[in-house]
């Protein structure tokens, strides 16, 4: 069982919603990213999605693109992120999930990636440009290494694909709130709520809603329809703007909103 699975089990038993915070590794720099992880955990985050920067991130909006480019320019690579994960593990047992793109992983070697990062203390990976149909090999490697491979559902995912995805899902299922890319906006979460309801009929694997959540109000609304919520751009924006001190109070406000 991974730390991620254990955390979701504990949350369920405590009847609490999960809060997953995205932080781009190496943006604005490695030190700040580490401080942000500490701040997030202290403020009530249950897991960290660690961004692995890619030059052409198809699923990401402007804020995470900007953070990725900054991180790459800072010289961040999977090798340096491996060290980052090891360092985080010296002070924290918070579940860590890598969020990156397949080209970097392929270049590193899929099996090496899973083995090295598992050993360093990462609990799973989210690779948005590997849809279910392309994921057989990678899923197998992840399974053999007790490493979560997170799959997606969206408002457009068809009935038969929801079923198919639920048969292999583990860790949690990432429910994308809207057809589009990451980034804060006002949304009606009832739309994805219909999808998460379908998912919950198929599997006991927890569901987390992400994309667009940028305020306590949005967090509260989204959390109604899932086991957890994921907040990225709103945190990354503050870090890029040099407002590390705002991160903890902001995450605390999200925590309070979903604990209501």
Partner 1 sequence: MTKGRFGKYGGQYVPETVMPVLKELEAAYNKYKDDEDFKKEFRDYLMKYAGRPTLLYYAKGLTDYYGKAKIYLKREDLLHTGAHKINNAIGQALLAKRMGKKKVIAETGAGQHGVATATVAALFGLECHVFMGTMDIERQKLNVFRMKLLGAQVIPVSSGTGTLKDATSEAIRYWASHIEDTHYIIGSAVGPHPYPMMVRDFQSCIGSEIKEQIKSETGGRLDYLLACVGGGSNAIGTFYDFRDDKTVKKFGVEAGGKSDKTGENAKTLSGTGEPGVLHGAYSYVLQTPEGQIVEAYSISAGLDYPGVGPEHSYFKDAGIVNYVSVTDQEALDAFQRLSRIEGIIPALESSHALAYLEKLMPKTKKDEVVVVTLSGRGDKDVQMVAKALGEEIE
Q: Which residues bind partner 1 (CB under 8 A)?
A: 54-59, 61-62, 65, 69, 72, 77-79, 101-108, 128-134, 136-137, 151-154, 156-158, 161, 176, 178-181
5, 60, 123, 220: the active-site residue:
60
Q: Is position 49 annotated as part of the catalytic site?
A: yes
Q: How far is the CB of 91 from partner 1 (least distance, A)?
A: 27
Q: Which is nearer to partner 1, 10 or 134 (CB)?
A: 134
Of 49, 151, 220, 227, the active-site residue reads 49
For the chain, the residue count is: 260
Q: Are residues 21 and 235 in contact, defined by beta-carbon separation less than 8 angstroms?
A: yes
8 or 152: whose CB is closer to partner 1?
152
Helical (H) or strand (E) element with 149: strand 148-153
Cα–Cα distance for residue pair 17/157, rounded to 1 Å: 24
Q: Is 60 a catalytic residue?
A: yes
Q: 85 exposed, middle or buried (CB, 10 Å; 0-12, 13-18, 19+)?
A: buried
If one counts every other C-beta atom within 10 angstroms of the C-beta of residue 189, the result is 22
Determine the Cα–Cα distance for residues 29 and 11; give it in Å rounded to an integer: 31
Instruction: Just list the catalytic residues.
Output: 49, 60
């Amino acid at each position: 069982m991974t730390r991620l699975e254990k955390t979701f089990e504990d949350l369920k038993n405590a009847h609490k919603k999960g809060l997953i915070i995205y932080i781009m590794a190496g943006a604005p720099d490695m030190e700040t990213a580490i401080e942000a992880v500490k701040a997030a955990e202290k403020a009530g985050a249950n897991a960290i999605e660690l961004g692995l920067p890619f030059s052409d991130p198809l699923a990401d909006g402007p804020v995470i693109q900007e953070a990725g480019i900054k991180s790459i320019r800072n010289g961040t690579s999977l090798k340096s992120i491996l060290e980052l994960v090891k360092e985080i593990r010296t002070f924290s047992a918070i579940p860590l999930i890598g969020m990156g793109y397949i080209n970097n992983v392929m270049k590193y070697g899929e099996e090496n990636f899973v083995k090295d990062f598992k050993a360093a203390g990462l609990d799973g990976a989210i690779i948005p440009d590997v849809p279910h149909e392309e994921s057989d090999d990678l899923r197998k490697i992840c399974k053999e290494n007790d490493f979560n491979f997170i799959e997606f559902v969206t408002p457009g995912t068809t009935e038969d694909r929801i079923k198919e995805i639920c048969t292999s899902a583990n860790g949690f299922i990432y429910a994308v709130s809207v057809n589009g890319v990451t980034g804060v906006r006002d949304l009606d979460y009832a739309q994805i709520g219909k999808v998460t309801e379908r998912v919950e009929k198929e599997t006991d694997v927890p569901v987390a809603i992400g994309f667009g959540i940028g305020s306590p109000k949005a967090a509260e609304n989204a959390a109604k329809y899932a086991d957890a919520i994921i907040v990225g751009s709103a945190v990354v924006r503050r870090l890029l703007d040099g407002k590390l001190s705002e991160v903890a109070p902001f995450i605390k406000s999200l925590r309070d909103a979903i604990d209501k």
